Amino acid sequence: MEQPKDRVDVDALGGVEGIHRWVARFYDKVAGEPVLAPMFTDLERARDKQQAYFVEFFGGPKLYSAQYGKPFLRYLHRQFKIGVPERDAWMKLVVEALRDQTDDERLIAEVQRRLGDMADKMINHHSEKRDAYYFNA
C-alpha cells in the first residue's frame, strides 16, 4: 500500500541517519538558547533519547520503546516548567535544525504540524492558572 504524499516518515527524513543528523543539529543549537539550555543538562543522553524517539515517532524501528519503554513524554518531562515560551523555543530550534538539512517546504510544514501537536501537549505551566494540576511556581 502506498503512503499518502503528505505523510512524513523516516525515509522522507533521510532514514535513521538523517534523523540522527537532524537531532544532532538541534542539540548543537540548544546550548545557545537561554530558555532551553537549563533543561538540557545531559546533552548526550538527551540527544540519544530524542534520536530514538524521533525514529519511532516517524514510523521507523521502535528504538525508543526497545531501550526505554513506552514514551510517556508528558510524565517524563514533569520536572520541567514548560510553558508557551519553552514550547516555542523548542519548536524554533527543531525546525531550524531541519531547515539546515532540507529545503523541502512541504516536508518541513508537515514535520512542524506533527511535532507542534505533540509540543502543545507538553505544556504543563500556565502562568494565568493557579491550581494544583499545573506546575506553577
pLDDT of residue 132: 43
Domain-by-domain residue ranges, the chain?
A: 15-122
Question: Model pTM?
Answer: 0.85
If one compares 9 and 136, the residue with the highest pLDDT of the two is: 9
Q: How far apart are CA 52 and CA 45, in angstroms?
A: 11
Q: How far apart are CA 74 and CA 124, in angstroms?
A: 8
pLDDT of residue 129: 65
pLDDT of residue 2: 36
pLDDT of residue 64: 95
What's the CATH number for 15-122? 1.10.490.10
pLDDT digits (tens, 9 = 90+) for 1-56: 333 444 688 999 999 999 999 999 999 999 899 999 999 889 999 999 999 999 99
pLDDT of residue 77: 84
If one compares 119 and 5, the residue with the highest pLDDT of the two is: 119
pLDDT of residue 4: 41
pLDDT digits (tens, 9 = 90+) for 53-99: 999 999 999 999 999 999 898 888 888 899 999 999 999 999 999 99
Q: How far apart are CA 119 and CA 110, in angstroms?
A: 14
130: pLDDT confidence band, cut at 50, 70 and 90? low
Q: Which of 98, 100, 114, 125 minimizes the C-alpha distance to 39?
A: 125
